[in-house]
Amino acid sequence: GAFPHDGAAPAKRPGKGGLVAAVLAAALLAGGVGGGVGYWAADRNDNGFGSTTITAGNTPKDLKREPGSIAGLAAGALPSVVTLQASAGDGEGGTGTGFVYDQQGHILTNNHVVASAANGGRLSATFSDGKKYEAEVVGRAQGYDVAVIKLKNPPAGLKPLPLGNSDKVAVGDATIAIGAPFGLSNTVTTGIVSAKDRPVASGDGSGAKNSYMSALQTDASINPGNSGGPLLDGRGAVIGVNSAIQSAGGGGLGAPAGSIGLGFAIPINQAKNVAESLIKTGKPVYPVISVSVDLQSKVDGAKISEQGAPANELVDPNGPAGKAGLRPGDIITRFGDRPIDSGPTLISEIWTHKPGDVVKLTYLREGKPTTVDITLGSRVGDK
C-alpha cells in the first residue's frame, strides 16, 4: 500500500523480536535432529528405562478413527499436502510445504518457499505417499508472500483442500497445521487460533523486502519448513497459509529459530484472492492509497513520509490519498474499522482489501483528526 518505497527497511512489530519466515535451507535437514533423538533413546536404555513397558489391554485390531477427530481430519488432508524442494541453479535452496488448490494441479504456497527456483531453478513436490512431481512457478506475490505453482504432469484425482472463511474465525477455534518442519514431512500439529488481525511484517532472512499480513496467530507448533502449508479449522477446512514464526532468538551459529508457540498464517480469504489473480494473469495485484509511509517513524500511527523524495512521490496528487486531501507528514490513525499504530500495520490493513473498495480513513494533521472516504487504487506486480 505504500508508494513508491514499500519496504524501505526491515520493518518489525515495534519492540518485538525478529519475525522469521518459516523456510528451511535444504542443508539443515534432519541430521542434527536424528542424532539427538538417537542419543537420547540410547541413554534411556543404558539406565534401564527400556524395561518398564506396560501393555494396554485389548487394543482392537482395527481401531477406527472418527471422521471429525484430529486423526480423521489429518488422514483426510495429508494426501492433499505436498513437501516442496526448491533450488536455484547454484544449488542454494530450501524445503517448504504447499497444498492442492484445484484439480488442474495448482499448488498454493508461500513466495519465500519457491523464490529460489523462480528463475530457471528446480522445483519438486512430494505427496504423502512418496510420489514426486516436477513443478513450475505460475506466479508470485512477494508483498503478500503467496505463490502458485503447477505440477508439470499432475496425477488424476487430485483432491483440493476445502477452503474455509477466515473472516468468520474466532479466537479459541481449534487449528491443525500440516507441513514439513525441519524437513520432517507429513507432520501434523494442533492448537487454537490465539489471536486475529495481527499485523506482521516478516522477512525470510535473505535481506529481501518484507511481506505484510494481517495474520491469524496460532499456538500450533510451526517451525522452519512449515511455510506454505495449510492451517485447518476443526472441520478440516483451510483458514490460513502458515508463513512466519516469532523468534526468541539465540539459535546460535546461524541455526534457524524454532517454535515458541507464536505462529502466523495468511488468512485464506486473502490468499485465495491473490491465488486467483496469479492463476489468471501470473501477476499480483495490490490495493494502494499511493503514499510513501515512513516505516521508521516512532509516532503512534502511520506517518506519511515528509522527505527523501519530491512531494508528488510522497503523496501522488492523482492517487486515492492525494485526491482525498492527504499531505506529507499526516499521521494515519484509523483505516476501516481498525486502529493503526504503525506503518507496517497500515500496509497490512490496506492489503486485506481489494482495489476499488471504499474505506474510511482517519488522519491527524497538527493534532486535529479528519476522516475521509478513500477509494483504493491498484498496482500490478512487485516493484
Task: Give catalytic status of residue 145 as yes or no.
Answer: yes
The helix (run of H) or strand (run of E) holding residue 365 is strand 358-365
Q: Based on C-alpha coordinates, what's the Rg of the chain?
A: 22
191, 190, 192, 189: which is closest to 173 by C-alpha?
A: 192
Q: What is the DSSP letter of 168?
A: G
* Catalytic hit among 6, 80, 106, 112: 112
**Which one from 145, 173, 294, 330 is the annotated catalytic residue?**
145
| Cβ neighbours, 10 Å, residue 369 | 11
Q: Angle at the Cα of 37 (from 31 to 42), degrees rounded to 5?
A: 125
Of 185, 227, 277, 305, the catalytic one is 227
What region, left, alpha or beta, does residue 173 occupy, with left being phi > 0 and alpha being psi -120 to 50 degrees?
beta
Alpha helices in 239-330 (DSSP H): 268-281, 311-314, 320-323
**Residue holding cell 486467483?**
276
The span from the CA of 341 to the CA of 293, in Å, is 12
- Separation of alpha carbons 60 and 367, rounded Å: 71
Q: Is 112 annotated in the active site?
A: yes
- Cβ-count burial of 268 within 10 angstroms (0-12 exposed, 13-18 middle, 19+ buried)? buried
24-165-350-113 Cα dihedral, nearest 10 degrees: 20
Please tell me the distance from the alpha carbon of residue 53 to that of residue 210, in angstroms, as a whole number: 50
Tell me the β-bridge partners of 139: 148
Q: How is residue 59 written as a grid cell?
A: 487394543
Catalytic residues: 112, 145, 227
